[in-house]
Amino acid sequence: MIELRGYFHRHKRFSVLNFIRRMGPSSVPQVTAATGLDRKVVTSVLRQLDREGLVRQKELGASTGGRRPRLFELDPQFGIAVGVDIGLTHTRAVAVNIKGELIGGQTTETVTGERLIEGAIETIEMLLTKLRITRMLGIGVAMAGLLDPERTLVIFSPKFGNLKNLPLGKIIGERFGVPVYLEDNARAMALGEKEFGLARETDNFLCVNLATGIGLGIVINGQLYRGASNCAGELGHIVVEPAGPRCVCGNYGCLEVMASGLAIARQAQDALQQGVASSMREMVKGRLENITAKTVCQAAKAGDKLAFTIIEKAADYLAVGLAAVINLFNPEVIILAGGLSLAGDVIWEPINRRLKVHALEMPLSKVTIVFSELGELLGALGATTLVLNRIFEPTGLVLPKGEKGEIV
């Protein structure tokens, strides 16, 4: 009976807190009408949340007759959620308050191998120092690889120096004394779009990470889909060219090895090493190792024949991959994110042409495909939701004992 009573109390708290989260400053009558809870219950819950520092009273609202109602809103002083996106080239950390407002960010070059966690910790420390953060609620980390979110364990990540069984969450958590949450970078991007971006009003969508790798975040009925063993969304490892180069996964001709940012850069480098004429050689002053996918996209936009050919071929493979997910999931929206998406029409126009060839007409006609508006911060912002969502779940956020996330 006690457990059941506790469940109902958490549910009421969850209902009130999430209404204010979604709607902003709200009065007791507004919360009562929206949640269906008794007015006395709503008043009691709000008082408790006020005492805890989760909500605060705002200026009085407009009157519809009688006294002006008091408004309650989330208190941005409650604490800070930190999100870290560990990419192949850069590590980005951001801080947001519980209202989801961006406080600031920090970017460093990624250190791979055994120093990966050390580099991430240094980035977080730089962020905390720069923003003078004294109360941190938790840290969310997004990265590529085979992960175990429940144990915050990196099972295997070949892109970062063949990391195996790395207790990332445990190490970072011990350093900062706060809960740490871990998620695949493409799935974190999907969470970021749901909370901060173009999917706020959409419950069924896909977020495609087009970057040094290729991944897919899947949201169905408002919930992130991870699959039976946290492997859902490995779009980059569907085979699109069986006779293609070997992928880091051990297979041949995966989408990632044919059309990712790294693949596009490698193809340009190989062609130039073989003597193919291209303006890209001058763009990097002969240092072919400095060619990136961004270089190729810029050259293609300027009319470079080699760059155009490489982008067209990559776009065809990407269209095959996107057609597969359109046919499988029949989504409302697909959001293209990651470094390659920043190329805009240079990459989108050839993809769009080939989608009409590869995808079924009905699901293609119903899907809206858009570019993320959150740029390079999307992964880190998505990682903050791993912390924020714990606050607004029925179980609530379990703060560290004693210090409550205070930085010492």
Q: What is the predicted pLDDT for the residue at 11? A: 81
Give the amino acid at 408: V
Which residue pairs from 227-231 have beta carbons closer than 8 angstroms and sit at least 24 positions apart in sequence?
230/146, 230/147, 230/148, 230/149, 230/184, 231/146
Q: What is the pLDDT of residue 245?
A: 96
Q: Which amino acid is at 191?
A: L
pTM of the model: 0.89
Question: In sequence order, what are the beta bridge partners of 93?
Answer: 84, 106
> What is the predicted pLDDT for the residue at 401?
42
The backbone torsions φ and ψ at residue 141, rounded to the nearest 5 degrees and listed phi first, read -125, 130
Give the C-alpha separation, 269 to 263, whole Å. Answer: 10
Q: What is the pLDDT of residues 315-369, one digit of tens each?
A: 999 999 999 999 999 999 999 999 898 888 888 999 999 999 999 999 999 999 9
DSSP assignment string, 169-235: HHHHHHHHTS-EEEEEHHHHHHHHHHHHSTTTT-SSEEEEEESSSEEEEEEETTEEE--TTS-TT-G
**Planar angle of CA 392, 398, 401, nearest 5 degrees:** 150
Domains and CATH numbers, the chain: 2-74 (1.10.10.10), 79-185+378-391 (3.30.420.40), 198-373 (3.30.420.40)
Name, in order, each residue with C-beta under 8 angstroms of 326's C-beta and a sequence gap of 6 or more.
Answer: 334, 355, 359, 360, 363, 364, 367
Buried b or exposed e, range 112-121, using 16+ CB within 10 angstroms: beeebbebbb
Q: What pLDDT was estimated at residue 393? A: 79
User: In the chain, what's the furthest Cα-to-Cα distance?
Assistant: 82
- What are the residues facing 289 on neighbouring strands? none
Separation of alpha carbons 19 and 12, rounded Å: 11
CA distance 195 to 135: 22
Residue 400: predicted pLDDT: 44
Burial of 201 (0-12, 13-18, 19+ CB in 10 A): exposed
Q: Please tell me what DSSP assigns to residue 137.
A: E
pLDDT value for 403: 44
- Name the token pair of 114: 């055994």
What is the enclosing helix (H) or strand (E) of 163? strand 163-166
Whether 92 and 383 have beta carbons less than 8 Å apart is answered as no
CA 80 to chain centre: 18
d(CA 95, CA 100): 9
In which residue are the tokens 């009273």 written?
57
pLDDT of residue 343: 85
Using 50 as the pLDDT threshold, list the residues of the chain that sit under it: 1-2, 4, 396-405, 407-408
Contact call for residues 15 and 37 (beta carbons, < 8 A): yes
| pLDDT at residue 5 in the model | 55
Q: Which residues of 357-390 are buried (b: 16+ CB within 10 A; e: fewer)?
A: ebbeeebbeebebbbbebebbbbbbbbbbbbbbb
* Cα-based distances in Å from 182 to 93, 179, 202, 383: 14, 10, 24, 8
Nearest to 14 by CA among 53, 51, 54: 54
Nearest by Cα to 46 from 385, 58, 389 = 58
Residue 20: how many other CB atoms lie within 10 Å: 23
Instruction: State the CB neighbour count (10 A cutoff) for residue 62.
Output: 8
Q: Where are the beta strands (DSSP E) in 211-310?
A: 214-220, 223-225
